[in-house]
Amino acid sequence: MSGGQPAPGAGAPLLTVCDLRSYLATGQGVVRAVDGVSLTVHEAEVLGIVGESGCGKTVTCRTIMGLMPARILHTSGEVIYHPRGEQNLLDASQAQWESLRGAQLAMIFQDPMTALNPVRTVGDQLLEAVNAHAKLSRPEAQARAIGLLERVGIPAPARRMRDYPFQFSGGMLQRALIAIALASSPRLLLADEPTTSLDVIIQDQILSLLLELQQDTGMSMILVSHDLAVITEICDRIVVMYAGQVVEEGATSDIITAPRHPYTQALLDALPQAGQRGQLHSIRGSPPSLIDVPDGCRFAPRCRHVTDECRVWETELIAAGEREHAARCWRLHDIGRSQAWQGSDSA
Amino acid sequence: MSTAWAASPSELLMRAASKAAGRRRSVTRRRLTLIVGLVLLGIAILAVFLAPVLVSQSPTTIDPLHPLAPPLTPDHLLGTDQYGRDILARILYGGRIDLAIAFGATAVTLVGGTFYGLIAGYIGGRTDSVMMRVVDLVFAFPFLVLVIAIIAMLGPSIFNMFVAIWITSWVAYARIMRAQTVVAKKQQYVLAARALGYGRLRVMFRHILPNTASAVIIFSMVDAVGNIILAASLGFLGLGAQPPAPEWGTMIADGQNYILSSWWLVAMPGLAVLYIGISFALIGDGLADLLRAGEQ
Amino acid sequence: MNRFGSLPRRLVHLVIVLFGISLVTFFLLRLIPGDPALAILGSSYTHQRAVAIDNFLGLNRPIWTQYGLYMDRLFHGNMGFSFYYDEPATTVILQHVAPTLFLLVYAGALAALISFPIGFISGLRRGGVVDQAGRIFFTLSFAMPAFWLGIIFILLFSVHIHAFPISGFGSGFIGHLYYLFLPALTIALGFSTVLVRSLRAATISALQAEFVDTARMKGIPWRRVLWRHVFRIAILAVVAVYGVNLAYLVGGTVLVENVFSLPGLGTLLVDSVNQRDYPVVQGITLLFAVIIVCINLLTDMVQAALDPRVGQEIGT
């Protein structure tokens, strides 16, 4: 179980996910979207989850928030939210969810344009969030809402309250969504690819904003992205996911300087480096089906260090270094990296 | 919410798998709808076609000796009407008229309206605007009223029913097809075809049409039901088939006066309309589901 | 921002449509094969009257003049002369307007009352009791012609049970509500099939929208999410369908009025057709079209009020 040694500055464990499995019963078969994931987020910590599309990072977050479609979802394992008396969120009732969401846990989604109701004003929807867990009078709620918009960097907030989502740009809308998520001062914010659909300059602004807010409020954050560069910018710890499983985890600096799982290494290799000329490295092949899950290591078909045993053995996470650095590869001590990652200059 | 933190992974897998299997079953059920609909319709068409073989009576022969005979009388399976005419015969022969409308009227309007909408949508611009204005104009009139008005002017008859429907029904297809075409125009496969230098007609008919036809075909099922009901309604109002032609609507209208004592005069033709209506509806539903599933 | 769309542009469009309608109804009379005067006069044919009609309609003048005469008279409220009733067509028609309008509004309200809850719940609980039962029920009623349904209703509720009157309009508002209940219900049921289907699909699609997740994420009660987000969006799709199907609704009144013997425009229309009272047929067609145009305008306005994106298509 990954708990214990947090990143410096972080506190006690806030949320612990223990052997979580989320299976989806579809017409094509059972999709094992999340297949035994464990992770821990501590207070005031920023945890990053990185992986390709379809690796299960979004399903993990949505399962944590209870936002998966109940009709086809089957889960096992535990999602323990510590401040609420070790409650397993998977068993939470509707009423419990309503008190948890917003006030304790919040989430922002990838595409700001679809994340808001298009026929109601942004101010309306923000006020809805503000009033969800507090008994405020009209002017108090209004003031608080405007204050939130200001805090996330939206100019002329009072006027913008009356505007509709289609009147906002992508970046501004994402800021508004952050304001909505933080309206009831949650202790954990899950951000699912918050910058993916924005252009690069705005991406930076949003990331800086998130980091700033996190440091100001001391809340914890789970940042999900397929872009390792984004993750390494603001996360204290990283969890690397592949085909529904965690394949490596550890402190950011350890992962960058000494990645132990071939997939992580490949991800780092694929990042354009400062001053790099010539061919970009990509990872050949594609992720396995989550319905007919192959035996053995799921990364084996694409791994450059693969052996026959890899295709048969199911490996667990093995300790690989300090600060709870672990990787799911039985060969992690044998294989190294060709070169240390130089870092990029996207600050 | 289905959770059980004590469940083992394999138990979880089994439970999820059985739900997934259930989902597959419901897909088969939907395909069944289409098949049932087609079978029902097929039986009807066959029965109507083979009318002379199935019933020996003529639908128009008056039999003053056996008026208002109830169903299951010998020689009259569904009874007779007030003139002694065999109801089963009238239904089977009458079915010819109503099914003819369902297919004949619908087919023409389907083809005509689709072409119109395809051309309007593809050409675009001014031409499109003008063409669709005409469509809007016809839409401004309540359908039945316009049909009645046209029949009023031309004179009530079966043929004029066809004409009236042809004049008024094509617009729905035009609208649907035009909307589809406008969207399709911007799709990759059309841009590719045009980049290859294919002529307008070829792009329209061999590229756009096959990909967008599903919407109008499904609608035509709904429309067919509508046309049958329209024919029956006009017959009911005395504006469609004229006596002594057997038509389900006219039969119902005639039978109204005897509804308390001889319910079968109204019930039989009514059930016939219901039967055809349901079979078309099932086909439409099944097709819609099938095409939707295919598009995913 | 103008919440009701660009009103001036809409009005111009309206005027154009009205002109178009008048053109169509004008040409209706020209459809008559043979001599219009003979057709119109029927048994009251005399040479004198025929000449009067020829002059009245301008049948010996160019088509534009005829149309001009027609429009001129229309603006003065003159829809022609009914030889059957021996009165101006306008008078005859206006006498029959009230029951039809009442029936239309009544049926529209009933349709909404029935289909909105059923459609919404069907979408919320897919495959549930309401959904399955609703589907079967409405597929059946859709396949049933309005007049047959009407006859069944009369049989059940008027003859066997005596709960409702068989025919007539009644007097006073409550009287109208009572007498028109069965006819309105007959129309409403046929109409409801499409509404339920549409709302169900819109609800299912709205439930999957990401903004519903955002709303749930705030921790507000599920009931509130349903009402202020899911329903609010789903209803937009239905408004359009509702408006479009109103045309069929109007057609339904013709049949239903016939079955229930209501003294409305529908009955007048059928009677006029049988009596070859062409000016009245023409006038009713025109009036019905005007009603439809008004309904479409209302629908557009409601849509614009509910959805601020309407009218923003240009540019976005």
pTM of the predicted structure, to 2 decimals: 0.81
Cβ proximity of B70 and B82 under 8 Å: no
- Can you read off the two tokens belonging to residue B188? 């990759």
- For residue A105, give the chain C residue with the closest CA: C217
What residue type is A319 in one-letter code? A
> Residue B32 pLDDT > 70, yes or no?
yes
C-alpha distance from C173 to closest chain B C-alpha (Å) = 27
C255/B233 CB distance under 8 A: yes
> Residue A5 pLDDT > 70, yes or no?
no
In b/e form, how buried is each residue of A265-276, taking b as 16+ CB within 10 angstroms? bbbbbebebeee
Among B106-110, B155-159, C81-85, the range with the most confident prediction by mean pLDDT is B106-110
| pLDDT tens per residue across span C94-104 | 888 988 999 99
A184/C236 CB distance under 8 A: no
Question: What residues contact C130, with CB distance under 8 A and at least 6 apart?
Answer: C118, C121, C122
> Cβ of C155 under 8 Å from any chain B Cβ?
yes
- Can you read off the two tokens belonging to residue A180? 């909505």
Confidence (pLDDT) at C63: 77
> Residue A274 pLDDT > 70, yes or no?
no
Cβ proximity of B273 and B247 under 8 Å: no
Mean pLDDT for A238-250 is: 93
Q: What would the DSSP string read from start to end of A110-156? A: S-TTTSS-TTS-HHHHHHHHHTTS----HHHHHHHHHHHHHHTT-SS
Q: What would the DSSP string read from start to end of C85-154? A: TTEEHHHHHHHTHHHHHHHHHHHHHHHHHHHHHHHHHHHHSTTSHHHHHHHHHHHHHHHS-HHHHHHHHI
Give the span between the Cα atoms of B90 and C63, in whole angstroms.
46
Report the residue of B36, B40, B153 to disrupt the C interface, i.e. the one with the largest count of C CBs within 10 Å.
B153
Q: Say which residue, A72 or C113, is predicted with more confidence.
A: C113
Q: Which residues in chain B have Cβ-Cβ distances shorter than 8 Å to A79?
A: none
- Rounded to two decimals, the ipTM of the complex is 0.85
C-alpha distance from C8 to closest chain A C-alpha (Å) = 24
Element (H, E) at C251: helix C232-259
Mean pLDDT for B94-113 is: 89
Mean pLDDT for B204-217 is: 82
With 0-12 CB in 10 A as exposed, 13-18 as middle and 19+ as buried, what is C10?
middle
B3/A75 CB distance under 8 A: yes
CB-CB: which of C20, C151, C273 is closest to B137? C20
Mean pLDDT for B183-197 is: 82
Cβ proximity of B223 and B106 under 8 Å: yes
B150/C248 CB distance under 8 A: no
Q: How does residue A3 score in pLDDT terms, banded at 50, 70 and 90?
A: very low
Q: Which residues in chain B have Cβ-Cβ distances shorter than 8 Å to A77?
A: 5
Among B50-59, B129-138, C71-80, the range with the most confident prediction by mean pLDDT is B129-138
- Can you read off the two tokens belonging to residue B246? 């057997």
Phi first, then psi: give them for residue A319, nearest 5 degrees. Answer: -60, 135
Q: Say which residue, A192 or C311, is predicted with more confidence.
A: A192
Mean pLDDT for B250-272 is: 83
Give the span between the Cα atoms of C88 and C76, in whole angstroms.
12
Cβ proximity of B81 and B255 under 8 Å: yes
Candidate from B116-125, B161-170, C82-91, C305-314 with smallest mean pLDDT: C305-314
Confidence (pLDDT) at B59: 75
- For residue C308, give the chain A residue with the closest CA: A119
Confidence (pLDDT) at A10: 63
Cα-to-chain-centroid distance, residue C110: 14
C-alpha distances out from residue B257 to A150, B91, B260, C109, C155, Å: 76, 19, 8, 32, 12
Report the residue of C1, C204, C211 to disrupt the A interface, i.e. the one with the largest count of A CBs within 10 Å.
C211
Q: Which residues in chain A have Cβ-Cβ distances shorter than 8 Å to C222?
A: 94, 98
Q: How does residue A80 score in pLDDT terms, banded at 50, 70 and 90?
A: very high
> Residue A328 pLDDT > 80, yes or no?
yes
Confidence (pLDDT) at C314: 35
Return the ∠ at Cα B135 (arms to B131 and B140), rounded to 5°.
Answer: 145
- For residue C218, give the chain A residue with the closest CA: A102
Q: Which residues in chain B have Cβ-Cβ distances shorter than 8 Å to C143?
A: 225, 273-274, 276-278, 280-281
- Give, to the nearest 10 degrees, the angle between helix B143-154 and helix C7-30: 20
A248 bridge partner residues: A240, A327
C-alpha distance from C101 to closest chain B C-alpha (Å) = 14
A24/B16 CB distance under 8 A: yes
Chain B residues in contact with chain A using a Cβ-Cβ cutoff of 8 Å: 1-5, 7-9, 11-13, 15-20, 22-24, 27
Mean pLDDT for C113-136 is: 90
C-alpha distance from C112 to closest chain A C-alpha (Å) = 22
> Cβ of C12 under 8 Å from any chain B Cβ?
no
Cβ proximity of B173 and B221 under 8 Å: no
C-alpha distances out from residue C239 to A2, A28, A224, C245, C246, Å: 53, 36, 39, 10, 11
Q: How does residue A148 score in pLDDT terms, banded at 50, 70 and 90?
A: very high
Q: Which residues in chain A have Cβ-Cβ distances shorter than 8 Å to C308?
A: 119, 164, 166
Mean pLDDT for B190-197 is: 83
- Can you read off the two tokens belonging to residue B197? 């230098």
Give the span between the Cα atoms of B106 and B227, in whole angstroms.
7
Question: What residues contact A182, with CB distance under 8 A and at least 6 apart?
Answer: A106, A148, A152, A189, A213, A217
> Residue C193 pLDDT > 60, yes or no?
yes
- Residue C260 DSSP class: T
Confidence (pLDDT) at A124: 93
Peptide bond into B70 cis (omega under 30): no
A119/C209 CB distance under 8 A: no
Q: Say which residue, A346 or B149, is predicted with more confidence.
A: B149
B145/C31 CB distance under 8 A: no
Confidence (pLDDT) at B221: 83
Confidence (pLDDT) at C2: 43
